Chain A
Amino acid sequence: MAAIRKTIISNCEKTFLMKNLSEWNRLDGRSFTEFRDINIVFGKDWGCCKVSLGKTEVIAQVSCELQQTKSSRPNEGMLNINLELNTMADPSFDASRQSDLSSQLNRLLEKCIKDSKAVDLESLCIKMNERAWSLRVDINVLNNEGNILDCASVAAITALSHFRRPDVTCDGVEYKIHSIKQRDPIPTVIHHYPVCISYAILNEGEYILADPTLLEEGVAEAFLTIGLNSYKELCGLHLGGNARLATKDILETSSKAAKRATELVAIIKNAVEKDTQDRLKLNDIGFHIMPIQEKIEKSTAELSICLDQWTLSKKGKKKKSKNEPMDVDPINENNSDVQQCKETITPLGNGTAKLSEVKGENEWAIVESDEEAEVIFVEPPKADTVSISDSNSEEEQVVVLNPQRLKKSPSKRKKNRI
């Protein structure tokens, strides 16, 4: 059966993304090597955390049970990592069936965390050849906005380092598990903190994007996932898809990833440390006291990204208008025209309205006479002429569309160039 409810990426979206990438822009305003913000929140139980990477969200919970040791490894405990792709995260995911994506992600996580021996399994053994702890990490994806793997790997290792198992005693025959109230629980020994860092490869290796979003993932030709710990040791490398990627690019990307891994591990360790301190102070911790206000800040942050982009495009135009001083006046006139003869919305009654175009001379027609197509922007009403004395060019007059933004512009321009 073909995938049901799959989000299809249209050609328009694809070309738009590629065009933006060719101008070294990403749709969310990040640079190619920039990652989305990561946020870790702990639940009330040990070994429970919610990790969000941008809008991608996962919840991880570690659980443990006593099990018979494996005959092949009689002195070791067990570790299972299970990533569930829920319908909640994406309607095309089906929890009841094992998809290619879920087995691939599970295997990569296993490779990164289990096969790199990050967790000390020997310390989980209670009695050789008899009983050992079996740890199980359940990761549920809540929201899929791309790059589930990075988010899940951080969640898994955070949950493992946060987890504490109950104390157990053995009188020779019977094993007694002491509840958390009776005896202090024991933390898990973590040797190192491996994390996965993913890159999307587009246009035959020309663009390598860190932390791809859902749309970028859909358009990408290949993915490069690098498992690394804070000591810059490789814990897994996976290159999927079909891309002609030079060895040099892989090496370069992995050295960038190593830097990111160090940052991530520091974030994880800090978050766990802070949580332990809070618990020692007997503060109330858990999802039930999650701050709600956070979201407002986020949405304004997104807005400011849009505005940044907007000023950037305007600045580009300003430079052009410098070169053609003759254009300046007509534009100014246009602006006032634009304000006046916009389409008007006439209310027709209960909850309905009509959008009617105002007849008269079309404001766009005047602009058409200019050579530059980019000048066709509906400008904010505060357009204003100011002479800039410190500019090196010979022109006396420059249009400054928003005088307040002028002060910031040099630094911003530099930033955007990078």
Chain B
Amino acid sequence: MEVDTLKEENNIDRLKCDLGLLSRPDGSALFTEGQTVVLAALYGPVEVKMQKVLVEKASIECIYKPKAGFPCVQDRFKESFIKNICETSLAVSLYPRSTILVNIQEMQNHGQLLSCAINAACMACLDSGIDMKFLFGSVSCFLMKDGELSLIPPVNESSIKGMFVFVFNNTKGEVIASHTEGLFTAEQYHDALEGGRQMGVAAYVKRGTRSPFVCHLSLSERRGGTRRHDNDMLLPLRPELGDHPGYRAMFF
């Protein structure tokens, strides 16, 4: 296994999440992965535009905003990627004839933009208290020119040969989406997948008990039927909360 250079603890330290930063959206999350920062905000279910009405389920709109310049093809791709993930993971059939707006704002880009955006979207969904079938977590894996795999983006961008982004769900740890860039062999892909599954966000989303953010989030689940949580929720590293009953109750 080539990905063994990383300790899991290091990985947890590199992830940071702050919930409920914005007052207007129903749920918002600032997700930090290393030096990549993405802000996600979710409104929903809200009034739907006439041309987007679906009679049997909620339509999902994902809006990705780059920090500078107009949205380009890559940004549109990210939108559709995140939209597809949200469509599978949210319980959309509970909200027919409505829409769920998932807004993603790039804050700082240091390589892992897509996986960070996906994680931020998941956290925003959780913060809003919207019904979900499962949680999802994403991990980026970088293939260097010397054939080594790393979960941390290298300082020198030109040394990257390929990049993999995997999205896992928390129920069975299955891959629900994957995206690749660059050249690689099938073997390298499987190695990266395995590495991502073991070390990445997905690993602790699935286990729950090890995840700093998922654990704490479980406590914020819809208290007394209200959609809003306290705005100053912090996400400390508290693995001991993993077995909180709220956790089991919320994530079926």
- With A63-B69, A138-B67, A287-B37 as contacts: A90 and B24 at CB distance below 8 Å: yes
User: Using an 8 Å CB-CB cutoff, how does the interface string of B57-81 with A read, 1 for contact, 0 for none?
Assistant: 0000101010111000000000000
Would you call B226 an interface residue if the criterion is a C-beta within 8 Å of the partner chain's C-beta atoms? no
Please state if A48 and B67 are interface contacts (CB–CB under 8 Å).
yes
Cα of A143 to Cα of B41 in the assembled complex, Å: 10
Would you call B231 an interface residue if the criterion is a C-beta within 8 Å of the partner chain's C-beta atoms? yes
Would you call A229 an interface residue if the criterion is a C-beta within 8 Å of the partner chain's C-beta atoms? no
Would you call A378 an interface residue if the criterion is a C-beta within 8 Å of the partner chain's C-beta atoms? no
Please state if A145 and B24 are interface contacts (CB–CB under 8 Å).
yes
Residues of B within 8 A of A50 (CB): 107
Please state if B108 and A286 are interface contacts (CB–CB under 8 Å).
yes
Among B18, B35, B65, B110, residue most surrounded by chain A Cβ atoms (within 10 Å): B65
Please state if A95 and B108 are interface contacts (CB–CB under 8 Å).
no
- What number of B residues sit within 8 Å (CB to CB) of A? 36
Cα of A15 to Cα of B20 in the assembled complex, Å: 30
Question: In the complex, what residue of chain A is closest to B233 when comparing beta carbons?
Answer: A295
| Distance from B102 Cβ to chain A, minimum over Cβ atoms (Å) | 9
Question: In the complex, what residue of chain A is closest to B26 when comparing beta carbons?
Answer: A91
Would you call B7 an interface residue if the criterion is a C-beta within 8 Å of the partner chain's C-beta atoms? no
- What number of A residues sit within 8 Å (CB to CB) of B? 38
User: Using an 8 Å CB-CB cutoff, how does the interface string of B129-160 with A read, 1 for contact, 0 for none?
Assistant: 00000000000000000000000000000000
Please state if B232 and A296 are interface contacts (CB–CB under 8 Å).
yes
- With A4-B49, A145-B24 as contacts: A292 and B65 at CB distance below 8 Å: no
Please state if A5 and B67 are interface contacts (CB–CB under 8 Å).
no
Question: In the complex, what residue of chain A is closest to B63 when comparing beta carbons?
Answer: A87
Cα of A409 to Cα of B68 in the assembled complex, Å: 51
Please state if A59 and B67 are interface contacts (CB–CB under 8 Å).
yes
- With A44-B35, A288-B36 as contacts: A55 and B67 at CB distance below 8 Å: no
Cα of A354 to Cα of B34 in the assembled complex, Å: 48
Residues of A within 8 A of B25 (CB): 88, 143
Please state if B231 and A299 are interface contacts (CB–CB under 8 Å).
yes
Cα of A145 to Cα of B231 in the assembled complex, Å: 15
Please state if A295 and B232 are interface contacts (CB–CB under 8 Å).
yes
Cα of A91 to Cα of B46 in the assembled complex, Å: 9
Residues of A within 8 A of B67 (CB): 48, 59, 61, 138, 140
Would you call A335 an interface residue if the criterion is a C-beta within 8 Å of the partner chain's C-beta atoms? no
Among B24, B69, B103, B231, residue most surrounded by chain A Cβ atoms (within 10 Å): B24
Please state if B24 and A86 are interface contacts (CB–CB under 8 Å).
no
A-B contact pairs, 10 of them (CB 8 A): A5-B43, A43-B108, A59-B105, A86-B103, A88-B65, A136-B68, A287-B30, A287-B32, A290-B18, A296-B234
